[in-house]
Amino acid sequence: MDWKAVVGRNVRSLRHQRGFTQEYLAHEAEIDITYLRGIELGKKNPSLLVLVRICSSLSIDPRDILDSDFNSFSQKFLNEVEGS
């Protein structure tokens, strides 16, 4: 399994669901926008610290970003939003 692709797909999907731009998320996570782009494209391998900062900026548990079942991941997120 290509974990960089899984993480990138999940970060991009959540960013879109939140209505965040890459610029906004990069600023909130205190990373360079080109690094975030690389993560979303599955080309960069973020450190644990960077993943935690991205997840914090997206208001999700860091474990969720590693969910390889994208449909399950998206449904879980949508259920949490609807329950709020």
Higher-pLDDT residue of 30 and 82 is 30
Can you give the pLDDT at residue 53? 98
Higher-pLDDT residue of 26 and 74 is 26
Residue 46's region, left for phi above 0, alpha for psi from -120 to 50, else beta, is: beta
How far is it, in rounded angstroms, from Cα 14 to Cα 5? 14
Domain ranges of the chain: 3-83
Q: Is the CA virtual torsion 84, 4, 66, 69 positive or negative?
A: positive
Among residues of the chain, what percentage have pLDDT more than 90?
Answer: 71
What average pLDDT is seen over the chain? 89
- Count Cα neighbours of 22 within 13 Å in the Cβ-side half-sphere: 12
What class is the 3-83 domain? mainly alpha
pLDDT tens for each residue of 28-69: 999 999 999 999 999 999 999 999 999 999 999 998 888 877
How far is it, in rounded angstroms, from Cα 44 to Cα 25? 16
